Chain A
Amino acid sequence: MFNLFLLQLLNGAQFGILLFLVAAGLTLVFGIMDFINLAHGVLYMIGGYVMAALSAATGNFWLSLALVLPVTLAVGLVLELLVFRRLYDRSHLDQVLATFGLVLVLSELVKILWGAAPLSVAMPEALAGSIPLAGLMRYPVYRIAVIGAGLGVALALWFVIARTRVGMLLRAGAANRAMVSALGVDINRLFMLVFAAGAMLAGFAGAIVSPILSVDPGMGDSILILTFVVIVIGGVGSVKGAFLAALLVGIVDTMGRMFGPILLKSLMEPAAAAQAGRTIAPMLVYILMAAVLFWRPSGLFGRSVAR
């Protein structure tokens, strides 16, 4: 039982790290620009598809991964220039309309280019094995590498935000955009930078997850909604909040699906417990989010908004 617990904890952490990679860029876009971007999940999907296409073409995992980064960065820049830039000072509704449209366009483009069937990406040989965890239990090296990569990115992000000039401007921009602009900072260039970097992180997440999960047109949708949950629990605009909330959501979701039915079995008869477990497990993260917002309407690390 303890082994199973540890295994699921690691799986949950790995899922949470992935959510963090997607959420980090989005929470800044939300927080600094007050911009609702429904198309962020699509960038994660594009990362996965570009990875699948490149690794099929080159046969080299590391080369493909290295190429995914500039490609998704470029996609982010193009989208920012063509669409998002014109929407920053519009209402949330116009932003929802445009980015919802983008989700449809880009998902359909992906379907036209690669078909609707799931694609798979081969795991790099260096990371294909597994290491002993506890007792007879083993854990795949690749998943540990994903956790490591995510922690590395989180550390780098922390350094950029807390220790560099760009990070200082970001924090200032999140607190008071008009004031930063009035002090002579080109806020539009800052936006572009944040947006493109966020796109690249989402693409990176999509690329590194591709050997574990298959790449399919629906992958962006499912992660987008969970990313929103992460951002809202963590507090809009807070990268630290997004990190903690991502781990929390990843672990709660993974553990809930595994241990929910087991816990319920001790309370009710097995058949009813199985049904109730299946019903409640996918709802768990949403219940968590509603509870957090009930007690802290601006999330765990969000600035309180004046009513």
Chain B
Amino acid sequence: MTAMPPRLRAALAIFALLALVPPLAHWIGQPFLIVIATRMVVFAIAALSLDLILGYGAMVSFGHAAYLGIGAYAVAVLSRAGVTDLTLHLLAAIGAAGIFALVTGAISLRTRGVYFIMITLAFGQMAYFFFVSFSALGGDDGTALAARSTVLGQDWLRSEPGLFYATLGLLVLIFAGLYRLTLSRFGRVLSGTRESALRMQAVGFRPFPYQLTAYVISGCLCAVAGVMLANQSAYVSPSYMSWHRSGELIVMLVLGGIGSLTGAIAGALATVALEEGLAKYSEHWRLGFGLILVLVALAAPGGIAGLIRRLKGAPA
């Protein structure tokens, strides 16, 4: 057994630090920090799911926020129908997202490069407009949830720490699953396709089934983030699936560094922290946030992961 890879160690350190947030927040008398931490973890799940297709499969999806919305609306629809169990919410979200990803992925994967980016964007917009005009669920304004999901009939998620730890648990579970998956035969084929689809075909692999499977898994996992996002804000609206949100997910990934899983988590945490931090100083926080994005793109390719590599003196 060799030593633990640095990215795994970094991820475990992040999880441990996150687990300390609720007691620390109580100790310093700032319980709202738990709410922000929950949002961080939710977006970390979403960014992780995107990393599987974008980082490992080189499929730049610009419509990934649609799955966030599908997950959130699964909670809203089932709650309306009187079903409040989290497990059922998750299953419904995963099922709906899986079907949407299977259909749109099969069509999108016929295209390449810029076209793939644009067609995923179009499917994202389709989902967005579908829910905007869905007047039974509040249309453009969205709809408030009566209560958070229940676990085994108990309202454990009602308290902020309860929801936070449940979300963190899902993040750890999904990270572990994706970590194993990317090291498996399946993951190797996917990364191989990213490097050169032609060579993978030459050694006897058809890229399409691998890419489509990854696309569907990614959509399902992002829907899990959507379920937790709906629970966190107790509110569901089409704005969860706007193209801005899809862009933000890509931003998180690029900020953190793609194709390492740990980078996706770090990028999501950094992005939410930046947004929340800047928003406290000025209503025009987007100005500063945008400037940071431009500067990172110009001066620090590879994001946080690239920066760490360079600080260590290794070639970026």
In the bound complex, what is the Cα–Cα distance between A96 and B301 (angstroms)? Answer: 12
Residue A287 is within 8 A (CB to CB) of chain B in the complex? yes
| Contact B114 A34, beta carbon cutoff 8 Å | yes
- Closest-by-CB residue of A relative to B110 is A297
The total of interchain contacts (Cβ-Cβ below 8 angstroms) comes to 148
In the bound complex, what is the Cα–Cα distance between A95 and B113 (angstroms)? Answer: 13
**CB 8 Å contact bits of B100-140 with A (1 = contact, 0 = none):** 00000001001111110111011101100110111100000
Residue B20 is within 8 A (CB to CB) of chain A in the complex? no
Identify the interface centre among A86, A93, A228, A298: most chain B CB within 10 Å of its CB. A93
- Closest-by-CB residue of B relative to A107 is B286
> How many A residues have CB within 8 A of the partner chain?
51
Query: Which of these binds chain B: A48-56, A108-116, A187-195?
Result: A108-116
Which of chain B's residues have a CB closer than 8 A to the CB of A109? Answer: 287
In the bound complex, what is the Cα–Cα distance between A220 and B126 (angstroms)? Answer: 19
In the bound complex, what is the Cα–Cα distance between A286 and B286 (angstroms)? Answer: 29
| Contact B290 A83, beta carbon cutoff 8 Å | no
| Contact B115 A298, beta carbon cutoff 8 Å | yes
Which of chain A's residues have a CB closer than 8 A to the CB of B308? Answer: none
Q: Is chain A's interface secondary structure helix, strand, loop, or mixed overall?
A: helix
| Contact A307 B112, beta carbon cutoff 8 Å | yes
| Contact A283 B126, beta carbon cutoff 8 Å | yes
| Contact A100 B251, beta carbon cutoff 8 Å | yes
In the bound complex, what is the Cα–Cα distance between A30 and B255 (angstroms)? Answer: 23
Which of chain B's residues have a CB closer than 8 A to the CB of A97? Answer: 250-251, 254-255, 293, 296-297
In the bound complex, what is the Cα–Cα distance between A95 and B49 (angstroms)? Answer: 21
Which of chain A's residues have a CB closer than 8 A to the CB of B113? Answer: 34, 92, 305
Identify the interface centre among A83, A275, A286: most chain B CB within 10 Å of its CB. A286
Known: A104-B293, A109-B287. A96 touches B254 (CB 8 A): yes
- Closest-by-CB residue of A relative to B284 is A108
In the bound complex, what is the Cα–Cα distance between A61 and B134 (angstroms)? Answer: 41
**CB 8 Å contact bits of B242-268 with A (1 = contact, 0 = none):** 011001001101110010000000000
Residue B298 is within 8 A (CB to CB) of chain A in the complex? yes
**CB 8 Å contact bits of A79-123 with B (1 = contact, 0 = none):** 000010011001011111110111111111101100000000000
| Contact A103 B290, beta carbon cutoff 8 Å | yes
Which of chain A's residues have a CB closer than 8 A to the CB of B258? Answer: 93
| Contact A96 B107, beta carbon cutoff 8 Å | no
| Contact B135 A275, beta carbon cutoff 8 Å | yes
| Contact A282 B129, beta carbon cutoff 8 Å | yes
Residues from 63 to 115 in B contacting A, C-beta threshold 8 Å: 107, 110-115
Residue B46 is within 8 A (CB to CB) of chain A in the complex? no
| Contact B301 A108, beta carbon cutoff 8 Å | no
Which of chain A's residues have a CB closer than 8 A to the CB of B284? Answer: 108, 111-112
- Closest-by-CB residue of A relative to B299 is A86
Which of chain A's residues have a CB closer than 8 A to the CB of B115? Answer: 232, 236, 293, 297-299, 302, 305
Residue A21 is within 8 A (CB to CB) of chain B in the complex? no
**Minimum CB–CB distance for A232 against chain B, Å:** 4
Which of chain A's residues have a CB closer than 8 A to the CB of B291? Answer: 101, 105
Which of chain A's residues have a CB closer than 8 A to the CB of B253? Answer: 93
| Contact B293 A101, beta carbon cutoff 8 Å | yes
Which of chain B's residues have a CB closer than 8 A to the CB of A94? Answer: 254, 297, 301
The 8 closest A-B pairs by CB, nearest first: A101-B293, A104-B290, A98-B297, A105-B290, A101-B294, A282-B129, A108-B287, A97-B297
Chain B residues within 8 Å of A, Cβ to Cβ: 54, 60, 62, 107, 110-115, 117-119, 121-123, 125-126, 129-130, 132-135, 197, 243-244, 247, 250-251, 253-255, 258, 284, 286-287, 289-294, 296-298, 301
14 contacts between A and B (CB under 8 A): A34-B113, A34-B114, A83-B294, A100-B247, A100-B293, A101-B293, A108-B286, A108-B287, A108-B290, A111-B284, A221-B243, A228-B118, A278-B133, A283-B125
Q: A108-B287, A112-B284, A229-B122 are in contact. List 17 more A-B contacts (CB 8 A).
A: A86-B298, A92-B113, A93-B60, A93-B254, A98-B297, A100-B250, A100-B293, A101-B293, A104-B286, A105-B287, A108-B290, A221-B243, A232-B119, A283-B130, A286-B122, A286-B129, A307-B112
